[in-house]
Amino acid sequence: MACATNKEADLPKDPIACDTLSMSYAIHIAPIIQSNRCLDCHSAQTATAGIILDNLADVSTNAEKVLPTITWAPSLPPGKKMPVGGPQVSPCEVNKFAAWIKQGKQP
C-alpha cells in the first residue's frame, strides 16, 4: 500500500504535543517525580546523595542538580543518570522540568 500524497501538510499533527507553558509543581512536576519512581531513592527517608524530592521546597532546592541527571547528559557516568536502573525520563518530561525551572519554579 502506497501513500496517496507526499505532502508534509497532509501528515497528521503530533497528537501528544509537549505543552511547556505555565508549568507548576502540583500539576506537572510532582507527577513526573512520582511516575519516574524518584522517591524510591530520594525521599526524606532515603535521601540518596543528599537529594530529597518529597515536596515543592525540596524539589526547588535540588532542581538544578536534578536536571542534568534526567537529561542523561553524555558527560555523566552511568550511575549518575536518573533513574538508575530505570528507563530514561521522557523528552517531554525533561522539557517540562526545565521549563518549570526557567519559569521560576511555580507551586
- pLDDT number for residue 107: 98
> Which residue, among 87, 45, 51, has the nearest Cα to 67 in the 3D structure?
51
Radius of gyration for the alpha carbons in the chain, expressed in angstroms and rounded: 17
- pLDDT number for residue 7: 54
Measured torsion, CA atoms of residues 33, 57, 45, 34, in degrees rounded to the nearest 10: -10
- pLDDT number for residue 100: 98
Instruction: Find out whether 25 and 106 touch, Cβ atoms under 8 Å.
Output: yes
pTM: 0.82
- pLDDT number for residue 78: 85
- pLDDT number for residue 73: 87
> So where are the chain's domains?
23-102
Q: How far apart are CA 53 and CA 55, in angstroms?
A: 6
- pLDDT number for residue 14: 54
Give the mean pLDDT per block of 10 residues along the chain (107 residues).
50 68 97 96 95 97 96 90 94 97 98
